Structure 1
Amino acid sequence: MSAHKRLAFALLWLALLALAGWLLGSRLELSGDLRKFMPSAQTPAQKLLIDELGEGPGSRLLLVAISHGDAGDGDAQTLAAQSNALRTALAGQTLFKLVANGGDSDLAAIPERLRPYRYLLSPTVDTQAFDRAYFAGELAQRVQDLGSPAATLVEPLLPRDPTLETLKLADAWQPAAAPQRLHGVWFDRAGREALLAVETRAAGFDPQGQQLAVDAIRAAFAQASGDSGTRLTLSGPGAFSVEIGGRTAREAGWIGTLDSLIFVALLWLAYRSWKAPLLGGLPLASGGLAGLAAVTLLFDGVHGITIAFGFTLIGVAQDYPIHLFSHQRAGLAPWANARALWPTLGTGVASTCIAYFTFLVSGVDGLEQLAVFTVAGLGVAALATRFVLPGLIDPEPRDVAASAWLARAWSRLARWPRLNRTACVALAAVAFAIAWWAPGAFWQNDLARLTPAPAAMLERDAQLRRELGAPDVRYVIAVTSADAEGALQALEQLHPALDALRVDGRIGGYDSAARYLPSRALQRARQAKLPERKALQRAFAGAVATSAFAPDAFAGFVDDVQAARAAIPLTPRDLEDTPLAATVAGLLLERGDHATALVSLSGLRDPAAVARVASAHGAQLLDLKQASESLVAGYRQRVLWALALASLLLVVTVWVALRQPRRVLRVLAPMALTTLLLLATLRGFGVELNLFHLVALILAAGLGLDYALFFDHAGDDRAEQLRTLHALIVCSLTTLLVFSLLALSSIPVLRAIGTTVALGVFCNFVLALLVTRQFARDEPSTVDAATTLESP
């Protein structure tokens, strides 16, 4: 094939990739639900944790703070005005279920259509008869209210609600630790920040929905604040996902750009040809698109983490064409070169694919996606290198083995001592001891610390939650029943015991759905206690006659009570589009064939006593921190079992390829030693290992196996050793620089992976050189051959 035809074919390949990418992009459905990377929940606490993580109101809550920022301590009245303006702007948008800043009238929790139900929602009739004496006392109190500063609030309610049942309800529904109010809206304790709580309709890990919500809040704030210099702070799971998504996209942009430039520059310098970077990128791009296509076809929605990690993991495929380029020389047809390299290259590809293929048995949807993406991507990249790329390579290139600088480098490296069995065992023992006995926990079990959010964002979120009076996030009482009605009745039976715990000081307070929505049974019981129209009219008329009020001042009262007597009891569905809906939905989770009612606790001082009370009433005190730790531990156990299986299959694959115990040991030793050294380094610096470290260790191990296989493939032929050294220098430099860039990321997860893999690349290259390389036929031995790993 002529040079022009090769170039035309390369451009055609590139065009087909661009077309495939466009078609795939138009059909790609991204998912941001982190539950896809969680194992299946086994315990009630784990199931609750997983449900809340993705769909619960807690994941939908955005915390908003307005402050004067760099402008210093400005007046609180300006902040209050902007808080009200922001609330008004957001309240009418369909993106949000609830927008609260404490500035609403307390009556907003009870919309007009539900006002007659106040007598069914309030506990007044449980202990108080609606008789003449009761009404007389209430009317006397109203006369005093009208002469107080509260008159403007009370007067509009009196015609229909002389007992102020609406205000009693609104007061009872206020959270025990609500933030202070200044100028009618919520503020932090220092009075420097106006606070709002916003619940989105989109789930917390719906990146598109949360992006729209965040953009709407920022746009509304920009309009409300004008040029006042105030600053908006957003926090919560949705804000984290938007911030991290944007930051990841920005960093991926500059890292990807630098990565591409480094790849192009290194290949141009290594092969002195502008064609090398173009041809070298084609198998990698083919593999990436193939992996993405495979996941798109086999799964409903591709997780963003799958794409991010998948393209990182198949980065090893950039090594495949480099080996082909470095071993090509005049007199050797490219197809023959590919055939000669294929047993070694294929063994490395098969071993790496096996490592990731075992994720399919992990039982975790996200890891299964990652396995499919990586295996398909690496397989296609390798096959493209073997069966397509040789047709594009110049059959008469410069032989890198003739390079003077490479010969000098090899001569210097040849003087390095080889590691014998004793040295390898000693190094492994020291690394194992450091990793095992280093102070601190070996594994990171805190689910919150697996988030890519920086520590400063998490601290700010915790601060805002404290200021808004959020309940204890660790402990919660769960009551499970067949339906919402059964769960509400169980809560009503539990309330007296919780009240006793509060009186004893074992808890500071509690909240449950039954505080806002009584069961239908309790509502019917209260209906039965409401007097009929004539009896009510007689009792109330007698009370009015002895009061300062006109006889016709309360025309709507009797009608409201009669409406309550005849009303169909309220259910959670009846609360839709009211402020109560979000509150009740967060505490009463209906999941098809069952319902779970939650009791949030504040000021918990005696978990054991609360657990006993809960158990006595058929409920359960759940420790969500313990649940998250057990979930992470179970996740890790699945991954470790998958890796154990992968290790066994990897040894079998290398054995089938090499068939000689000493060669197998020589190839596997650098990878094993590097893994131990990485573990020792991480643990020595006090790092607690998590899933992301495991992913990085797998990637580093795959690279190490590749380096060792090609050093073994070179044998004792000096020219082949030089070509192998050239290929591995280019491969390792490219990978080292790419992951060093990743180590500079501001996102902790990416930084951890970048640092681990960069260190692994260096260790793998050095150890493969010291353990696997053989003496060239014309190389003088400086070590007794009988002591080396490959010696007979």
Structure 2
Amino acid sequence: MSGSARRIALAFAWLALLALAGLGIGRTLEVTGDLRRFMPEPRTPAQRLLIDELGEGPGARLLLVGLDGAPAETLAAQSDALRQALQADPRFAHVANGAGLGLDVIPESLRAYRYLLTPTFDAAPLDRAALNEALALRVQDLGSPAASLVEPLLPSDPTLETLVLAESWQPAHQPELRHGVWFDRDGRRALLLVQTRAAGFDPTGQGEAVQALRDAFERVRGTSASTLELGGPGAFSVEIGARTQREASLIGSIDSVVFVLILWLAYRSWRAPLLGALPLASGGLAGLGAVALSSDAVHGITIAFGFTLIGVAQDYPIHLFSHQRPGLPPRDNARALWRTLGTGVASTCIAYLTFFVAGVEGLRQLAVFTIVGLATAALATRFVLPALLDVDGRGAFPDVATMPRVQRLWARAQRWPRIRVVHGLALAAVAVAIAALAPGAFWQNDLSRLTPAPAELLARDARLREQLGAPDVRYVIVVQSASVEAALQTSERLRPALDAAQKRGALGGFDLASRYLPSIATQRARQAQLPTRDALAPMLARAVAASPFQRDAFEPFLEDVERARTATPLTPQALAGTPLAQAIEGLLVERDGGATALVSLTGIQDVAAIEQIATAHGATLLDLKAASESLVAEYRTRVLTALALASVLLALTVWVSLRDARRVLRVLAPMALTTIGILAVLRLAGVELNLFHLVALILAAGLGLDYALFFDHAGDARDEQLRALHAIVVCSLTTLLVFSVLALSSIPVLRAIGGTVALGVLCNFVLALLIVRPAPRALEAAP
């Protein structure tokens, strides 16, 4: 077999192996969107509550729905049809639009318990006077438009406690009722509140729920011109996910085109982009496979970031191509470059290895992906790629040292001033001063400001939330108790004080579990207030005799009261599978041998007053925004600690490779100055730094170290410096264009990484050229 045939066979074998690996990984890969994998372990009660609420809390599962664009009567009919359709869908736990007064929240099996749940008879007993008044009111009701609603309830519930409870369980701040359903104040938009069964951290489940809602709306809208508006965390995640996928696909396509064009222009060979892509693809698949094998599920952010971060691997084949020259076997070329290339790879891997110190599952996955990917790409470049290059010179890449444009570029670079030690120290001092003294906060601690949601989506969500009276997403009162019973009793004591705060305007509304499920002590006290059947029957008979009702019309009522009087009090477990369980879910949580009762708040006007009420009753007013900021700060501290350790290990790696203090300082100086310079530029631009900027700084530092190492590797030989210059120009130009496109993204995460790395590539290239390149005299003296 000829050499050309062997190379073609090896190329096809490599491609086949990549295809098989891709198929195998695709079949076993399980992708998750649970953002808790990218959050540090919560250490305080506030942080634990924050994580739980973001993932499992009812607020994270709410979809805010608005129907617009049609007459009010049409929208009302569509709202009710949509409610019925979603209630029959197992993907939704609760759907409310104001229709039906919520009678469905009390299933038939719990109707008798209404006398343990209602506060009606706490102040006045269920006696003959109460019965006389109730029956007189029912006679009036039967002659009113409400007769159709009241009549079915009368035999078992002449006091209408079912309606009392249903009305009291309506949202504290519900919208206006028009045509029997909720509307906004202008009467132009019908409103619904939908709770999904999928957790807030389950983007797949949220996506399925949102799509099911949209499909149901398309069925009920018919030929009308009505439109659907969605708000809430689930709607955010779906829209953001779709936008991210669209932009990632577009950016990936642009990056591929840029990579192909630049390599073709740089080497005037179609083989360059094809061969150069093989180590990169090998590294990506190896990294993804390693994470898939080491974790039960791979986070989507890990995949996106991982493929972005191992983009540095595209530099490895470029160095091999640019340093190839006639008469030098490719394997010898790869062997000569390996010490320098290996040092850069080892240093970059060390930087990501320190992510294990951060103690965050997502960062550990990212470290595994990047380290395995970079190592695989480097090893493929060293041992496999040379076998695909033409050894006898036919079709080989040209010697870039002979290219006129490279020589002209080098001649211009020789006229640039060199940066001495004193200049570097001065630049570093100025950059540090700017970064430290620039106005504004240095770090960004607000999680909400990292959202890629556009302003119009946030505005829509705020409008729907205000119209629906959805709970405040920042403040919540927390009652920590040893048992569910103790938590419910504390909540009951809180309620009068919160009612008073609401009346004086300090609070718009609130919701708590004891509103739906009183404590066992309260239920037993109400049982004690109920008359026995023997006592109630004669009182009821006298009241009926004085009314138009038949004598035996209320026999079911006597049975219900007796059943309630002797029943075992309700507990959260007894409510399982009922709408009441959904009402208290998220407001009452049992864990770690204790219980937590939450009080959701709406429209807080006086935070200090609400905090004082909570403290006076042994509860705590938690500011979830402050909790999120403390969590972010702790996260950043861990990452910064890891980076400090990485810096030390990186310097040691370079020292082991070069064994010369001057060379080590000269190689590390561009990277250090660039890092400080980027911080100064970002601070001057008013940018608050976040975790993504730190990740981008690591990537930029790895690229800068490679540039400096290869300038140093070339030594004083002019041709080697020309080859190094060509390789570094091609590497930096490819990376610069790729990350410049990323910087134009509408997604803050991608924009932060793209802008930071693009700036870092530019600075690293210029500084490496001005610091590491040899003096002109040395070149002239070189043979």
What TM-score does the superposition give when structure 2 sets the normalisation length?
0.96
Q: Secondary structure at the match of 2:99?
A: coil
Name the CA shift for 1:653/1:277 in 2 (closer, same or farther; >3 Å): same
Match of 1:345 among 341, 344, 350: 341
CA distance in 2 between counterparts of 1:355 and 1:466 reads: 46
Task: Report if the CA contact (8 A) 2:101-2:170 is conserved.
Answer: no
Match of 1:281 among 277, 280, 284: 277
Worse-matched range after superposition: 327-336 or 770-779: 770-779
Worse-matched range after superposition: 687-696 or 232-241: 232-241
Q: What amino acid is the match of 1:529?
A: Q
Name the CA shift for 1:778/1:473 in 2 (closer, same or farther; >3 Å): closer
Matches within 5 A, 1:618-657: 618-657=618-657
Report the CA distance between 1:91 and its aligned residue: 1.1
**Match in the other structure for 2:450:** 450
Matches within 5 A, 1:325-364: 325-364=321-360
Deviations 1:245-281 (A, max 9, x none): 2222222212112211221222222222222222211
Residue correspondences, number: 776
Q: What amino acid is the match of 2:197?
A: R
Report the CA distance between 1:779 and its aligned residue: 5.0
Matches within 5 A, 1:461-480: 461-480=461-480
Q: What amino acid is the match of 1:672?
A: A
Task: Report if the CA contact (8 A) 2:50-2:628 is conserved.
Answer: yes
1:67 lines up with 2:68 in the alignment: yes
Task: Report if the CA contact (8 A) 1:667-1:712 is conserved.
Answer: yes
Match of 2:104 among 86, 102, 108: 108
Report the CA distance between 1:607 and its aligned residue: 3.3
CA distance in 1 between counterparts of 2:632 and 2:653 reads: 31
**Match in the other structure for 2:771:** 771
Task: Report if the CA contact (8 A) 1:205-1:241 is conserved.
Answer: no
Q: What amino acid is the match of 2:22?
A: G
Q: Secondary structure at the match of 2:325?
A: coil
Q: Secondary structure at the match of 1:622?
A: strand
Name the CA shift for 1:431/1:778 in 2 (closer, same or farther; >3 Å): closer
CA distance in 1 between counterparts of 2:440 and 2:338 reads: 45
CA distance in 2 between counterparts of 1:167 and 1:128 reads: 18
1:201 lines up with 2:197 in the alignment: yes
Report the CA distance between 1:503 and its aligned residue: 5.1
**Match in the other structure for 2:33:** 32
Task: Report if the CA contact (8 A) 1:205-1:237 is conserved.
Answer: no
1:486 lines up with 2:482 in the alignment: no
Report the CA distance between 1:189 and its aligned residue: 2.2
**Match in the other structure for 1:258:** 254
Name the CA shift for 1:158/1:178 in 2 (closer, same or farther; >3 Å): same
Report the CA distance between 1:290 and its aligned residue: 1.3
Match of 1:173 among 169, 191, 203: 169
Task: Report if the CA contact (8 A) 2:414-2:776 is conserved.
Answer: no
Q: Secondary structure at the match of 2:586?
A: helix
Q: What amino acid is the match of 1:188?
A: D
CA distance in 2 between counterparts of 1:560 and 1:528 reads: 15
Deviations 1:170-219 (A, max 9, x none): 12122221111221111222222211111111112212211211111111
Q: What amino acid is the match of 2:62?
A: L
CA distance in 1 between counterparts of 2:761 and 2:319 reads: 17
Report the CA distance between 1:485 and its aligned residue: 2.9
Worse-matched range after superposition: 613-622 or 350-359: 613-622
Report the CA distance between 1:459 and its aligned residue: 2.6
Deviations 1:208-236 (A, max 9, x none): 21121111111111111123222212222
Task: Report if the CA contact (8 A) 1:454-1:748 is conserved.
Answer: no
CA distance in 1 between counterparts of 2:204 and 2:441 reads: 37
Worse-matched range after superposition: 2-11 or 505-514: 505-514
Deviations 1:622-643 (A, max 9, x none): 1111111111111111111111
Report the CA distance between 1:590 and its aligned residue: 2.6
**Match in the other structure for 1:589:** 589
Name the CA shift for 1:779/1:338 in 2 (closer, same or farther; >3 Å): closer
Q: Secondary structure at the match of 2:626?
A: helix
Report the CA distance between 1:655 and its aligned residue: 1.4
Task: Report if the CA contact (8 A) 2:716-2:779 is conserved.
Answer: no
Task: Report if the CA contact (8 A) 1:487-1:595 is conserved.
Answer: yes
**Match in the other structure for 2:409:** 409
Q: Root-mean-square deviation (CA), in Å?
A: 1.8
CA distance in 2 between counterparts of 1:778 and 1:432 reads: 33
Q: Secondary structure at the match of 1:104?
A: helix
Runs of at least 5 residues in structure 1 that lack an aligned partner in the other structure: 69-73, 782-792
**Match in the other structure for 2:23:** 22
Match of 1:159 among 127, 132, 155: 155
Worse-matched range after superposition: 266-275 or 304-313: 266-275
Report the CA distance between 1:780 and its aligned residue: 6.7
Q: Secondary structure at the match of 1:232?
A: strand
Runs of at least 5 residues in structure 2 that lack an aligned partner in the other structure: none
Worse-matched range after superposition: 154-163 or 603-612: 603-612
**Match in the other structure for 1:141:** 137
Report the CA distance between 1:778 and its aligned residue: 6.9
1:88 lines up with 2:84 in the alignment: yes
CA distance in 1 between counterparts of 2:497 and 2:204 reads: 44
Report the CA distance between 1:662 and its aligned residue: 1.6
CA distance in 2 between counterparts of 1:426 and 1:121 reads: 75
Worse-matched range after superposition: 586-595 or 760-769: 586-595
> Percent identity of the aligned residues?
68
Matches within 5 A, 1:334-733: 334-395=330-391, 396=393, 397=396, 398-502=398-502, 505-591=505-591, 593-733=593-733
CA distance in 2 between counterparts of 1:179 and 1:502 reads: 17
Task: Report if the CA contact (8 A) 2:176-2:183 is conserved.
Answer: yes
CA distance in 1 between counterparts of 2:184 and 2:698 reads: 47
Q: Secondary structure at the match of 1:129?
A: coil
Task: Report if the CA contact (8 A) 1:502-1:508 is conserved.
Answer: yes
1:298 lines up with 2:294 in the alignment: yes
CA distance in 1 between counterparts of 2:87 and 2:427 reads: 65
**Match in the other structure for 1:227:** 223
**Match in the other structure for 1:150:** 146
**Match in the other structure for 1:183:** 179
Name the CA shift for 1:511/1:131 in 2 (closer, same or farther; >3 Å): same
Q: What amino acid is the match of 1:675?
A: T
Task: Report if the CA contact (8 A) 1:717-1:776 is conserved.
Answer: no
CA distance in 1 between counterparts of 2:502 and 2:81 reads: 38
Match of 1:131 among 104, 115, 127: 127
1:316 lines up with 2:317 in the alignment: no
Report the CA distance between 1:777 and its aligned residue: 5.3
CA distance in 2 between counterparts of 1:186 and 1:509 reads: 18
Q: What amino acid is the match of 2:177?
A: R
Task: Report if the CA contact (8 A) 2:477-2:621 is conserved.
Answer: yes
1:118 lines up with 2:114 in the alignment: yes
Task: Report if the CA contact (8 A) 1:57-1:582 is conserved.
Answer: no
Q: What amino acid is the match of 1:162?
A: P
Report the CA distance between 1:143 and its aligned residue: 2.4
CA distance in 1 between counterparts of 2:431 and 2:187 reads: 54
CA distance in 1 between counterparts of 2:186 and 2:699 reads: 49
CA distance in 1 between counterparts of 2:608 and 2:231 reads: 33
CA distance in 2 between counterparts of 1:330 and 1:343 reads: 22
CA distance in 2 between counterparts of 1:543 and 1:142 reads: 12
Name the CA shift for 1:707/1:199 in 2 (closer, same or farther; >3 Å): same
**Match in the other structure for 2:57:** 56
Report the CA distance between 1:501 and its aligned residue: 4.1
Q: Secondary structure at the match of 1:586?
A: coil
Q: What amino acid is the match of 1:444?
A: Q
Q: What amino acid is the match of 2:53?
A: E
Report the CA distance between 1:66 and its aligned residue: 1.4
Task: Report if the CA contact (8 A) 1:716-1:777 is conserved.
Answer: no
Name the CA shift for 1:328/1:315 in 2 (closer, same or farther; >3 Å): same
Name the CA shift for 1:591/1:452 in 2 (closer, same or farther; >3 Å): farther
Worse-matched range after superposition: 745-754 or 346-355: 745-754
What TM-score does the superposition give when structure 1 sets the normalisation length?
0.95
Q: Secondary structure at the match of 1:186?
A: strand
Deviations 1:355-400 (A, max 9, x none): 1110101011111111111111111111111122111122233211
